[in-house]
Structure 1
Amino acid sequence: MRTIKLGTSTLEVPVVAVGCMRINSLSNAEAEKFIQTAIEEKANFFDHADIYGGGKCEEIFADAIDMNASIREKMILQSKVGIRKGMFDFSKEHILESVDGILKRLKTEYLDVLLLHRPDALVEPDEVAAAFDLLESSGKVRHFGVSNQTPMQIQLLKKSVKQPLVANQLQLSITNANMISHGFNVNMENDLSVVRDSSVLDYCRLNDITIQPWSPFQYGFFEGVFLGNEKFPELNKKIDEVAAKYEVSNTTIAIAWLLRHPAHMQPVIGTMNIERLRDCCKASDVHLTREEWYGIYLAAGNVLP
């Protein structure tokens, strides 16, 4: 498994992150086998959030592997805070309380990375900064980042936050590629030219913030997967063609497409299937040609001006 530096930090992370949002669908034994397989595949970066399963996902994760200091050293743990029922909350009190809950559920003394989950309209950057300072000085969190945030929202936080924001978790897939598409359609009168994210892709590249694509196999907003879907015949035909060339699965190619982008992204996969996990990890060794990358992009229904 190839590794990259997470943002401007010295933390080496695998290019594929393992999302744990659905780990509560597994039995204890199944969860243990899944986590151990991920570690064996060198995909030892596990992404959590305090809202996944109402906190149960973090508990299941820790219990499945009988979390202890020895196994903790073999993994990188990331979690997210800021979503409450009916609201988003980046207050100092909520951030600190949430992290304490995460650490208790994960049975660990620290998080490698903490992300702010979704933008809070009532955010006070000074409160976020105070929370981050306490979490860093206490050793509870080593690195910080955001999720689903625009460049200006990040800049607002950076007005007060002194720690580098090393990651931004954003929805991105072959079929949900607006952050790429609008860059082709500069100053053109079509829907693809509409910039809906304040050029977050370029911003993150300019500021060395690692983009973590979430839902890399989904189209729409959790409408379903595009692989093997009759709604995307041309895309699946092209992906299968490329997969046959490299002697890998279509799953591998879908992740390899994201990894081919020079932004050095770290896709967060959500599968709980061990074979699909292994297929995702194989993407680390596949380097698509320029022709293949563009061919897949166009087959998804995207157009070039």
Structure 2
Amino acid sequence: MAAKINVGNGTLEVSQISLGCMRIADLSPKEAEAHILTSLEVGIDFFDHADIYAGGKAEEVFGDVLVNNPGLRDKVLIQSKCGIRKGLFDFSKEHILSSVEGSLKRLKTDYLDVLLLHRPDTLFEPEEVAEAFDILEQKGLVKHFGVSNQKPLQIELLKKNVKQKLLFNQLQLSITNTGMIDTGFNVNMANPASIDHDGSILEYSRLHDMTIQPWSPFQYGFFEGVFLGSDKYPELNQVVNRLADEKGVADTAIAIAWLLRHPAKMQPIVGTTNTQRLRDIAKATDITLSKEEWYEIYRAAGNVLP
């Protein structure tokens, strides 16, 4: 049973693992319903969407499940994202408001628990975002807010005008995508791992009570493939499989437990549409890796400590 965590310094309680809904449009209505209900059964009540997932179809499928299960809306937390348009990013007031309106219609709900701004828009005006957020909050259409794929100064620029607390930052992070961790080890050095591409976003998030939501927690590269079972990572898989056997869980649970072991109190987004795999992943919150095990996995992925 997936555990719960408090985010935003106690502002909101969420399941420690979130189910990413990008691919649920590939499921039949019955399969989608079974998958969502299984998620709740194993303690995962937080569902991540975006207006662009399957061209909006993913939200529609989820909305149909809500309609067919009266009372379900009160048992789930729904997060969606906006800001990506064809060929551009858009944080304008008009686009944010119209995107939320569309998501609510497709999801067949009166409100979003969380809204994230998706990819950064370099042409955005903080004042416009603030106006949009105020309208959405005042009308009760969005309860909480956050960002995705943003670094500290971009967040600070938003906070110049936005008064709502930004609770989440959805960022790519996995055992094989550890840039934000690597730079914290390789301080005052000139090797490639010392290059800080993210503005110390890991430390910033902890300082400002922002919960990192790691996306693609089983992927290497940028959607290049899954590292579990991959012949590209033989040493990593050997270590992960050994620990999985020792603890009586699946390799996916070890990969998620590795993220959960970090004191930043992250909330990984898992996008599986396989119900049994979802059950396996949920067991990650039942185990705690030791510091020695965490570092062993980190090194097995090819990372070198200075």
Interval of TM-score (by shorter of Structure 1 and Structure 2): over 0.9
Contact kept in structure 1, 2:22 and 2:49, CA below 8 Å: yes
For residues 197-236 of structure 1, the aligned pairs below 5 Å read 197-236=198-237
Contact kept in structure 2, 1:252 and 1:282, CA below 8 Å: yes
Deviation at 1:64, TM superposition (A): 3.1
Contact kept in structure 2, 1:67 and 1:106, CA below 8 Å: no
Identify the residue that residue 27 of structure 1 maps to in structure 2: 28
**SS across alignment from 1:128:** helix
Q: Does 1:192 align with 2:193?
A: yes
Identify the residue that residue 83 of structure 1 maps to in structure 2: 84
Identify the residue that residue 74 of structure 2 maps to in structure 1: 73
Letter in 2 for 1:243: A
Q: Does 1:243 align with 2:244?
A: yes
Contact kept in structure 2, 1:9 and 1:166, CA below 8 Å: no
Identify the residue that residue 267 of structure 1 maps to in structure 2: 268
Identify the residue that residue 16 of structure 1 maps to in structure 2: 17
Provide closer, same or farther for how the CA distance between residues 138 and 107 of structure 1 changes in structure 2, counting only shifts above 3 A: same
Identify the residue that residue 164 of structure 1 maps to in structure 2: 165
Deviation at 1:69, TM superposition (A): 5.6
Structure 1 segments, 4+ long, off by >4 Å, are none
Identify the residue that residue 138 of structure 1 maps to in structure 2: 139
Contact kept in structure 2, 1:50 and 1:81, CA below 8 Å: yes
Aligned CA RMSD, in angstroms, stands at 0.9
Letter in 1 for 2:298: Y
Q: Does 1:296 align with 2:283?
A: no
Work out the CA distance in 1 between the residues paired with 2:151 and 2:12: 24
Work out the CA distance in 1 between the residues paired with 2:66 and 2:94: 31
Identify the residue that residue 100 of structure 1 maps to in structure 2: 101
Deviation at 1:65, TM superposition (A): 4.1
Letter in 1 for 2:219: Q
Work out the CA distance in 1 between the residues paired with 2:203 and 2:278: 29
Work out the CA distance in 2 between the residues paired with 1:118 and 1:67: 33
- Tell me how many residue pairs correspond in the alignment: 305
| CA deviation map 1:162-183 (0-9, x unaligned) | 0000000000000000100111
Letter in 1 for 2:209: D
**SS across alignment from 1:143:** strand
| CA deviation map 1:266-299 (0-9, x unaligned) | 0000100011101111001110000000000000
Identify the residue that residue 119 of structure 1 maps to in structure 2: 120
| CA deviation map 1:57-99 (0-9, x unaligned) | 0001111342566110010000000000000000000000000
Q: Does 1:44 align with 2:45?
A: yes
Contact kept in structure 1, 2:114 and 2:143, CA below 8 Å: yes
Work out the CA distance in 1 between the residues paired with 2:68 and 2:136: 21
Identify the residue that residue 129 of structure 1 maps to in structure 2: 130
Identity %: 64
| CA deviation map 1:32-74 (0-9, x unaligned) | 1000100111101000000000000000111134256611001
Work out the CA distance in 1 between the residues paired with 2:245 and 2:59: 37
Deviation at 1:7, TM superposition (A): 2.1
Work out the CA distance in 2 between the residues paired with 1:67 and 1:205: 39
Letter in 2 for 1:23: I
Work out the CA distance in 2 between the residues paired with 1:9 and 1:263: 14
Contact kept in structure 2, 1:24 and 1:60, CA below 8 Å: yes
